[in-house]
Amino acid sequence: MAKSILSESPDLKYTEDSDYHNPEAFTELVENRRSCRVYTDEKIPEEVMQACFDLALKAPNSSNLQPWEFYWVRSAEKRAKLIPYCMDQNSVKTAAEMIIVVARTDTWKRNSKLMLEELKKQPFKTPKSAFDYYTKITRLAYYQGFLGWFGMLKRIIFNVVALFKPMPRQPKSIADQRVWAHKSTALACENLMLAFRAYGYDTCPIEGLDHRRVRKLLDLPYGKAEVCMAISVGKRAKNGIYGPRIRFDKELFVKEV
């Protein structure tokens, strides 16, 4: 069931042809994305904000379950509270806009149903294996049970089965579920930051914050929503970049096996 949708190509009579390539433009974009610590007073147009959110939501993600939420903090009261919650950082105090990006460990249930609805709308006949994936496999993979009891059961069963054949072994706990949600959410964060740079604005990803207070500020459900990072946005001030980009030797990170 799962094997057919994962390893076999369905005959959908659907193609997307593209010969797009522009490495120079992408290189320029990546080279110009820097973490900005000080912004000017310039405002960001509403249409730019919305366009960048749209691009962020196009990020690749696990099983297309999109376990992310973006909180654009527009309330002056909440913005004021964010400053001390983010350790009084300049990148927050001077930002034109603040976005809190949240990883959701629970919305896979809702989004599985949404995927089923979308599959029914497609102009081609969707394979049964695709429907099986979102009715059965996602539940098996992402349901952890009360206090993680089902995850513990999965750990035992999956590890036994894996003695005889390759087997996906995660997420098999609440902790694994958190990692799963944060991985996809972080991909969307990168899309968002590159989008703002393409529109001429800068960003700074912020992890130095009081996650508990920020979660309370946004009224997020405990145990189901986690602050992945805050992202400040604005027009770069002349002193906004504190120094040249530093990266360590490529051989430390890129391995050929």
> DSSP string spanning the chain?
-HHHHHHS----S---------HHHHHHHHHH--B-S-B-S----HHHHHHHHHHHTTS--GGG---EEEEEE--HHHHHHHHHHTTT-HHHHT-SEEEEEEEESSTHHHHHHHHHHHHHHSSS---HHHHHIIIIIHHHHH---GGGHHHHHHHHHHHHHTTTS-----S-SHHHHHHHHHHHHHHHHHHHHHHHHHTT-EEEEE--S-HHHHHHHTTPPTTTEEEEEEEEEEPBPTT-S-S------GGGT----
CATH number of the domain at 179, please.
3.40.109.10
Average pLDDT in the 17-39 region?
96
pLDDT at 7 over 80: no
Q: What does residue 109 show for φ and ψ, rounded to 5 degrees?
A: -65, -50
Q: What pLDDT is recorded for position 134?
A: 96
- Is 27 domain-assigned? no
- Is 68 domain-assigned? yes
- Is 72 domain-assigned? yes
> Does residue 144 contact residue 173 with C-beta atoms inside 8 Å?
yes
> Does residue 195 contact residue 58 with C-beta atoms inside 8 Å?
no
Task: Please give the model's pTM, rounded to 2 decimal places.
Answer: 0.92
pLDDT at 171 over 70: yes
- Is 39 domain-assigned? yes
Among 36-40, 97-101, 158-162, 182-186, the minimum mean pLDDT is found in 158-162
Average pLDDT in the 101-125 region?
96
- Is 70 domain-assigned? yes
pLDDT tens digits, one per residue of 37-84? 999 999 999 999 999 999 999 999 999 999 999 999 999 999 999 999
- Is 2 domain-assigned? no
- Is 13 domain-assigned? no
Q: Which of the pair, 27 or 124, is modelled with greater confidence?
A: 27
Residue numbers of the domain that contains 130: 35-239
pLDDT tens digits, one per residue of 180-231? 999 999 999 999 999 999 999 999 999 999 999 999 999 999 999 999 999 9
- Is 212 domain-assigned? yes
Q: What pLDDT is recorded for position 168?
A: 83
Among 34-38, 69-73, 125-129, the minimum mean pLDDT is found in 125-129
Q: What pLDDT is recorded for position 41?
A: 98
What is the band of 253 on the pLDDT scale with cuts at 50, 70, 90? very high
Q: What pLDDT is recorded for position 5?
A: 67
Tokens 């949404």 label which residue? 114
Average pLDDT in the 238-252 region?
97
What is the band of 3 on the pLDDT scale with cuts at 50, 70, 90? low
Average pLDDT in the 231-244 region?
98
Q: What pLDDT is recorded for position 8?
A: 76
Mean pLDDT highest for which of 54-63, 137-146, 165-174?
54-63
Q: What pLDDT is recorded for position 4?
A: 66
Number of domains present in the structure of the chain: 1
